[in-house]
Structure 1
Amino acid sequence: MHHMNNVTYKGHLLSAIAVTDREVFSATLVVRDPSGVQRRSGALGTFASSIGAVRYAFAYGMAEIDHRKTPPSE
C-alpha cells in the first residue's frame, strides 16, 4: 500500500511517499523545483508508521532546499 502527500515549500513541490512492507514503512521523496525539473530520492529509511515516513521525507526535502544538514532517520 502507498501513502502519498504533497506540500509546496519555497516554490518547490514535495511529494512524500510511504510504502508499507509487512509492518514497516519506507519513505521516498519527489521534488519538483520551480522550473519544473523533478528529482527523486532513494529510500530514506524505514519507519514504524506511514505518518512518520511522510513527515521525515518532508523534513528531508526542506533541509535539502534550505541547504541544511538532513535530519537523521528513526
Structure 2
Amino acid sequence: MEIAEVAYMGLVLTPLAAYDEGMYAAMLIVRKPDGTERATEVLGRFPCAAEARRVAIAFGVSQIDARRLPGSEWRRQDAGNRAPR
C-alpha cells in the first residue's frame, strides 16, 4: 500500500521513495497550513519503497513531536549517507 500523504498536527507529510541503485531513497516533504513546503535530505536507503515511505513518515512525526526516530531493521549505513538521529 502506498502512503500518499498524512495530515499530522496541522501539517501535511508526503513521503517519497525514489529508486536509486537497487535501493529506495526515502525523503519527506512537509507542507505547512500556509502552503509553504520543505523537503528533507535523503533519510536513508531501503530495499522496498513501502519501507522507505514508512520511515519518512516516522521521521516527520518524530521531528514534529521532538522524539527520537524509531530504528529500522533494514537501514543500510553508507559512507555518504547521514542517518537521522
Structure 1 residues not aligned, in runs of 5+:
none
33-42 or 5-14, larger mean C-alpha shift: 33-42
TM-score of the two chains, using structure 1 as the length reference: 0.84
Larger Rg, first or second structure (1 or 2): 2
Q: CA RMSD in A?
A: 1.8
Deviation at 1:34, TM superposition (A): 2.7
Give SS of 2:59's match: helix
Report how many aligned residue pairs link the two structures: 72
Deviation at 1:37, TM superposition (A): 3.0
Q: What stretches of structure 1 move > 6 A for 4+ residues in a row?
A: none
Deviation at 1:67, TM superposition (A): 1.0
User: Quick one: percent identity of the two aligned structures?
Assistant: 36
Counterparts of 2:6 and 2:45 in 1: how far apart (Å)? 21
Give SS of 2:19's match: strand
Give yes or no for contact 1:4–1:18 (8 Å, CA) kept in 2.
Answer: no
Q: Deviations over 1:24-73 (max 9, x none)?
A: 10000010123333211000010010000000000000000111122345
Deviation at 1:4, TM superposition (A): 6.7
TM-score of the two chains, using structure 2 as the length reference: 0.74
